[in-house]
Structure 1
Amino acid sequence: MDPISSSCFSLHIEENARAIIEEQKQDEQFSEIIVSCRSLSYYEGKKFKTLIPQILAATIAASFHIVVGISLAYSAILLPQLMDAQNSTDIDAIPVTESDRSWIASIIVIVAPAGAIAGGFVMDSIGRLNMIKLAAIPSALGWVLIATATNVPMLLTGRVLTGIASAWGTSPAIVYITEIARADMRGSLISVAPAYASLGMVLAYLKGWFLDWRLVAWLCNVYTILPVILIMFIPESPAWLVSKGRIEQARKSLEWIHKYQPQPEHKSESFAHMQLAFLEKEQMLKAEEQQRLVGNNASKKLKMFIQPTGYKPLLILSGLFFFQQFSGIYITLFYAVTFFKDVGTDINPYLASIFIGTVRFCMSMANTWLMRRYRRRSLLVISAAGMAVCMGVSGLYTNWIHEGTTNQNWVPVVMLLLYVVTSMMGLLSIPWTMTAELFPLAIRGVAHSMAYSVANFIMFASIQSYYSLLHIFRGSAGIQYFFAVISLGGLVYSFIFLPETHKKKLSEIEEYFQHHTTYFSLNSNRTKTSRNNGSPQRKPIVKNTRLTEKDFIKACSGQNEKMINNKV
């Protein structure tokens, strides 16, 4: 699932794409927004002090992600402790079968899509911060059920509730940060959320090392309640307040967020008042646009799904998610301690899991930089190749350890750490980002939800099948070889089918799917064109007088003022 990665990267892509929103139809309105945005950026102070309220609000809103990270990693510490108690003389031990263990680990994944969809509707009704507060209710109930569980159904119910809470608590935080953050700081502040989630995973492994699983569950209520208390000290999203007609509350919210903004020169009104006027104008244009698009009904969207630009991205993403899930990325997260025990290393499996969580934490912060700098295809190919090599070597040494032919027990742990590093570079994160990149704007919301649901069902299948795969491949070494082969399959699949989307406009991506299925066919067509024409023909240079997506992003970042003045 990684709802954290999916929500953060998807919103990051949405933010930078800005969707070429029906360019030919909306130039006048688009220009009006650009002028307002440019004006605001011109007057916006750039000193660090002006960012303090935004940083504070973002870190508080995202703090619920800590308990989300713990929820994801909790099965890794719960299952081995249940097994140890079952094999001892503990009269309070909960008997669990292999099937029970699979369900305890995987059930949190299967409830995520339904929780996210329901949460989206509620969030738009009650607000971003209120939605996070609401998420604390199933979270607290779930952890209490787990802490007091006397049987497997209680554990499963608790996991379902914490899964729903995870879906409810992540998206509102990301949306809130997107709506309050300064344009040039938005990506950095959004990255706080996955960093918190990775920190939660480390905390889960760390506590499981020396605390009983019941006590860990009780302590999770601290991470559930504390964000709710802190949220009471920050204002609601002004954009949401304006959308609900609560203008006075929106004004107070903006005054808090921009409390350190200097008084704009030659202006009688404050920066917060200027921002409020912009939000009101933007809301009015959105309302007009919604009214214009009333005719876009479900049947029209369904017709778009049977076009190549609709079904090809969905099929390609489904295949990519298959290789992502069955390459072991999430299996090693949900079964971390058990996985390291099966490897046979002398290193404490809880300590090894802490190392894994720490690496994920560090890589979650480095990932944003990698995604901005390097091409998607290159990252995916390097990632899959590195995962295959690391898992293959780890499996080889695991086999030798079990045969007693080597004493280098540290090698599998190092290889698995490198496996996590390479997975975070591409195969873990990029499939989630592409749910926002590959689909046409008109169906992107629905298509993103469909792709997200497909990914979660495949993840559920992979986590659920772990023990079966362990039997089929006769132990830890065999399943690591299986993960290595699947990673190689992901490399080949990405090389053949995956289009390059880095720094591509959405219209270019749509054009690709309209005429191509494999990446090779694109290059083949280019070669044929070159041969037929003798040499590639240069297109005449035409001065662009239209407002483009890049212009919009630069304007909202306070850049390229001269360019915008010339175009508007």
Structure 2
Amino acid sequence: MAFKGWFIYRWRQICASCMVVCAVLCTGTVVGWSVEVSRIMQDPYANFNLTVDDQEWLVSCAGVVAIFTTAGSGFLVEAVGPCRLLSLVLLPAMVGWIFIAATESLVWIFLGRIITGGVGFMLTTVAQPLLAEMCTADVRGLLSSLPEMMVSVGMLLVYVLARFLDWQSTTLVCGLLLFPVTVGVLFVPESPYWLLKKGKEKLALRALMKLRAPEHDVDSELSSIRDALNQHAQHSSFLQQFRSLKEPGNYRPVVLVTGIFILRELGGAMVIFMYAVYFFENAGVTIDPFTCSVLVGVCRLVFTLISAVVIDRLGRRPLLIVSSIVCGGALFVTGGVLYSDDQGVGWVPLTAVMVYVASFGLGTGPVPWILLGELLPTPVRSLGASICTSIFVISLFLVTQVFPDLTIAIGLRNAVMVFGAFELLLALVAFLFLPETRGRTLEDLQHAFVGSSALTPFTHATREGYTPAYGSTFPSTSQVMEKVH
């Protein structure tokens, strides 16, 4: 009964968030599709031959155009609105998947890979801040964790399909799944923040009414958002947001979140996910590498789900710190086993990688994306998200592009050790500079990096995991049930 009352009060924003999150499935399939490169190389019916350089570029080229699409996404969000932009870019993604599946030309496969990669990473850039603006503080952590979970679902889907289907069929499924998502996003209310910035107050009120329960004080929330936007009215346009970056309260969180993303990628996560087959083949694991890839996908999905459940209780900061330390330790164990050259312990690298993936799913994976929506101040949220994700994509491209050459130059064991060191550095940065965002409204977080105590973590979140906002408290379960009945 308690859960029923909780869900009744929040079901509208939950349903809208889930529909937005489904668009991020494309990001997961783009990352997971990298395992199909090995299938293409083994396909006896392919009319083309892949060289080692072709393999490297086919894996990493998804990030090339994504550098530009993520950098330009902030401008597009301000121009047309985040929800409308999601529905517009999903169609090219479907076309890109069809290019890959239906062609017999390597050029068209590269073109489809570039299109799907550019759109896939752009979707996450748009969806994460949108979720933060749509959700109330008490469920923002849970719902903001869903994009990372959907990325895990997309990766696992490709891993499983690659185990049983040929690469063309797997690719076609990835494209067809986006059609119902495109239709569903059309019914999601636009961001009330964006509507208010455009002077569409009636539409903003209507959007909030669609996202909130009838018992919610929509007028008070709308007034709070309006006041926050009015404080920075001079930075309302996208071009003017560049000027606001000179303010410490705006550039500090952008630099911090960007640094967290860079260290996250230098920790080797995407190398393991995108080069899963290659990694397990060269780590001495005796189990079929495609089976290991499925295990990796399942492990990441399960622990990302656990993270979504506990993150509003445990907080973002401790999860990120602890998970980064565990990830670093798991990589050092893997590197140590590879140094020993003991063929009888091939199960140890697999176990260590599973520990790494589990810890990544708990914190290092979802938390940076949650911070992208929460820590970036409202005046520069679109621009800040573009900067963070474009630099993230550049880091991703560079790491995945140089990884094969890096293993040749210094060996897989040394490369793994380097990744582990960056994971520990990420934990240190989070410990020193990251404030806790659990239970804070976006209006509160807008001032998190202002003043002498800018980098001091919030410590006064309430026991339930949120602080009442908008001038009133959220109704209790019993109050909700009384109003419902």
The interval holding the TM-score normalised by the smaller chain is 0.7 to 0.9
Query: How far does residue 194 in structure 1 lie from its aligned partner after superposition?
Result: 2.9
Deviation at 1:554, TM superposition (A): 7.4
* Structure 1 position 278 matched with structure 2 position 195: no
1:443/1:249 Cα in 2 relative to 1: closer, same or farther (>3 Å)?
A: closer
Match of 2:23 among 60, 64, 78: 64
| Counterpart contact for 2:47–2:105, Cα < 8 Å | no
Letter matched to residue 23 of structure 2: F
Q: How does 1:98-497 map to 2 (within 5 A)?
A: 98-116=52-70, 118-122=72-76, 129-167=83-121, 169-170=123-124, 184-231=138-185, 234=187, 236-237=189-190, 239=192, 271=214, 278=219, 282=222, 286=226, 293-294=233-234, 305=245, 317-374=257-314, 378-400=318-340, 403=341, 405-435=342-372, 442-443=379-380, 445-474=382-411, 476-492=412-428, 494=430, 497=432
- Which letter does structure 2 place at the counterpart of 1:197? V
Query: 1:238, 1:250 within 8 Å by CA — same for their partners in 2?
Result: no
TM alignment of 1:66-105, pairs within 5 A: 66-75=25-34, 77-85=35-43, 90=44, 92-105=46-59
CA drift at 1:557? 2.6
Question: 1:14-53, aligned counterparts within 5 Å?
Answer: 46=5, 48-49=7-8
Cα pair distance change 1:328/1:174, threshold 3 Å: closer
Deviations 1:313-333 (A, max 9, x none): 555555544432122111111
- Name the CA shift for 1:308/1:256 in 2 (closer, same or farther; >3 Å): closer
Residue 46 (structure 1) shift: 4.4
Preserved CA contact (<8 Å) 1:183 1:556: no
User: In the superposition, relative to structure 1, how do residues 324 and 49 fare at CA in structure 2: closer, same or farther (>3 Å)?
Assistant: closer
Q: Distance in 2 between matches of 1:301 and 1:111?
A: 24
Report the counterpart of residue 475 of structure 2 in structure 1.
558
CA contact (8 A) 2:131 2:143 kept: yes
Q: Deviations over 1:311-360 (max 9, x none)?
A: 66555555544432122111111111221122221212111111111121
Q: Is the partner of 2:451 in helix, strand or coil? A: helix
Cα RMSD, aligned residues only: 4.3
Cα distance in 1 for residues equivalent to 2:238 and 2:252:
19
Q: Once the 2 structures are TM-superposed, how far is the Cα of residue 424 of structure 1 from its aligned partner?
A: 3.3
* 2:266–2:419 Cα contact (<8 Å) kept: yes
Query: 1: CA distance between counterparts of 2:233 and 2:18?
Result: 36
Amino acid at match of 1:79: V
Q: 1:110-165, CA deviations, whole angstroms, 9 ceiling, x for partnerless residues? A: 43353245455555665655433322311111111111343443222112211233
Q: What is the CA–CA distance in structure 1 between the aligned matches of 2:390 and 2:42, rounded to whole Å?
A: 35
Shift of 1:361: 1.1
Post-superposition Cα deviations, 1:406-458, rounded to whole Å, max 9, x if no partner, equal: 42322211110101122334444444444566666654543443233222212
Give the superposition deviation at 1:217. Answer: 0.8
CA distance in 1, matches of 2:133, 2:223: 13
Counterpart position of 1:498? 433
- Assess if the C-alpha contact under 8 Å between 2:142 and 2:312 holds in 1: no
Q: Is the CA contact (8 Å cut-off) linking 1:209 and 1:351 kept in structure 2?
A: yes
Measure, in 2, the Cα distance between the counterparts of 1:238 and 1:487. 35
Q: Specify the code of the residue in structure 2 equivalent to 1:354.
A: V
C-alpha distance in structure 1 between counterparts of 2:410 and 2:377, whole Å = 41
Q: Structure 1 residue 47: deviation in Å?
A: 6.6
Q: Is the 8 A contact 2:468 2:474 kept in 1?
A: no
Distance 2:45 2:236 in 1: 62
Q: Which amino acid aligns with 1:84?
A: Q
Structure 1, 342-351 or 52-61: larger mean CA deviation = 52-61
Task: Answer whether contact 2:129 2:374 (CA < 8 A) is retained.
Answer: no
AA at the equivalent of 1:135: V
TM-score calculated relative to the size of structure 1:
0.67
Q: Report the alpha carbon displacement of residue 241 of structure 1 after superposing the two structures with TM.
A: 7.6
User: Structure 2 CA distance, aligned partners of 1:433 and 1:178?
Assistant: 8
Structure with the greater alpha carbon radius of gyration: 1
Do 2:280 and 2:292's aligned partners in 1 also have CA atoms closer than 8 Å? yes
Letter in 2 for 1:225: F
For residue 349 of structure 2, what is the amino acid of its counterpart? P
Write out per-residue CA displacement over residues 78-99 of structure 1, whole angstroms, 9 at most, x where no aligned residue. Answer: 22113324xxxx3525322333
**How far apart in 1 are the matches of 2:208 and 2:380?**
33
CA contact (8 A) 2:74 2:382 kept: no
**1:312–1:127: structure 2 CA closer, same or farther, 3 Å change rule?**
closer
Compared CA separation, residues 376 and 254, structure 1 to 2 (3 A): closer
Q: 1:477 to 1:58 in 2, by over 3 A?
A: same
Unaligned runs of 5+ in 2: 458-465, 477-485
Query: How far does residue 500 in structure 1 lie from its aligned partner after superposition?
Result: 4.2
Q: Name the SS for the 2:449 alignment partner.
A: helix
After superposition, the C-alpha distances for 1:282-307 in whole angstroms (9 at most, x for unaligned) are: 38984995597237899986676456
Q: Which residue of 2 aligns with 1:31?
A: none
TM-score normalized by the length of structure 2? 0.77
Q: Distance in 2 between matches of 1:225 and 1:299?
A: 34
The separation in 1 between residues aligned to 2:103 and 2:52, in whole angstroms, is 18
Quote the sequence identity (%): 21
Equivalences for residues 506-521 of structure 1 within 5 A = 506=445, 507=447, 509-512=449-452
